[in-house]
Amino acid sequence: MRSRMDHYNPVNDKQVPTKSGPIDLLGIDKSGNLVVVELKRDKLPRVTLAQAVDYASDSASWDVDKIGEVCLKYTGQSLEDYLNESFEDVDLEDLAINKTQRILLVGFSVEESLQRMIEWLSNTYGVSINAIVLRYIKTKGGDEIIARTMIISEEVERERTRKRRLQIRMSDEPGNYDDEELRDLLKQYLSENKLTPRRIREILLPLCLESDVVTREMIKKELVQRGEAADEGRAGTILTTISRALGIEQRDYLRQIIQYERPNPWEKDNYKLVEKYKDMVKNLLDELRNQKEGKSGEGV
């Protein structure tokens, strides 16, 4: 079940428990917000609103680890893998997971009082709540169709989702830092334990030190060999996050040391280190590797 209209993907096809009972369906949207979906086989009664608000208020306290556990349990994938495959144009490093929650009620009709409350909460207070009313139709030709009507229009939903989403400015312009500041910025970013900085540190930069030009295929092959990806298709998805990280405007220090070509407007290829920064990068990677090994040794 995938809803282009609501820009979310379901995390489960079984009920997820909360303190007040099980959620019928739990999803996550492109902004990282949880989507609580309540399904009714008939009319949506007004009490459905209180039920859904109860579930949403509980899920509001879930941190990334808790959501990751739920995702792994019901999809068999890590939260990062699930988001990467569901929303390829989203940069996970800058995604605010569960910053807010959305409520979606689904049924075959809706009580007038519930519709009034949904419109009031949405229009007056901007609460992320909507209802979808389904209608079964059988044509003269025997075709069976499910038609849907939304209480809050798709245009309003889309605009609110767009405004909530973190807008990330992109650029191909390199930075212009002096060597000392550049090294400090690189060290700060590459020291992070997040997946993309680690992959740039352990895969992209070493490849660039070994070869004058590093192609997309070389990176994907390395991702598979190192166990970061099960196959080249998944490696391509991971490469997209690496590529996007290089294009974020505020990370111009990465573009100061890494150059690339654009065979197409939507992709980068033929990565290479700027010659004068190779020694800096090599020494920095050695330093970070030694620090990591030193910490590992302390824990033995």
Q: How remote is the C-alpha of 47 from its chain's centroid?
A: 32
Mean pLDDT over 29-55 rounds to 93
Q: What's the pTM value of the predicted model, to 2 decimals?
A: 0.58
- For the packed helices 278-298 and 179-190, what is the interaxial angle rounded to 10 degrees? 40
Q: Looking at residue 185, what is its pLDDT?
A: 97
Which residue ranges does the chain devote to CATH 3.40.1350.10?
Answer: 8-164
Asked if pLDDT for residue 14 goes beyond 80, the answer is no
Say what the pLDDT of residue 144 is: 87
Answer whether residue 167 shows pLDDT above 70. Answer: no
pLDDT at residue 64, rounded to an integer: 83
CA distances from 10 to 30, 75, 111, 185 (A): 12, 9, 26, 38
Q: Which CATH architecture has domain 8-164?
A: 3-Layer(aba) Sandwich (3.40)
92-101, 185-194, 250-259: least confidently modelled range: 92-101
190, 268 in Cβ contact below 8 A? Answer: no
Residue spans in the chain of domains classed CATH 1.10.10: 179-294
Amino acid, single-letter form, for residue 233? G
- 84 pLDDT above the threshold of 80: no
More confident residue, 240 or 273: 273
Range in 1-15, 42-56, 66-80, 92-106 with the lowest mean pLDDT: 1-15
Q: Please give the pLDDT value at position 265.
A: 83
The pLDDT confidence band at residue 131, using thresholds 50, 70 and 90, is very high
**Mean pLDDT to the nearest integer, 219-229:** 93
pLDDT at 133 over 90: yes
Q: What pLDDT was estimated at residue 155?
A: 78
Residues in the chain: 300
Burial of 233 (0-12, 13-18, 19+ CB in 10 A): exposed
What was the pLDDT predicted at 8?
Answer: 60
Q: Which residue has the tokens 């352990």?
A: 202
For 179-294, CATH number out of 2.60.40, 1.10.3470, 1.10.10, 1.20.120 equals 1.10.10
Partnered with residue 27 across adjacent β-strands are 10, 35
Q: Give the mean model confidence (pLDDT) for residues 25-43.
A: 91
Q: What is the average pLDDT value for the chain, to the nearest integer?
A: 86
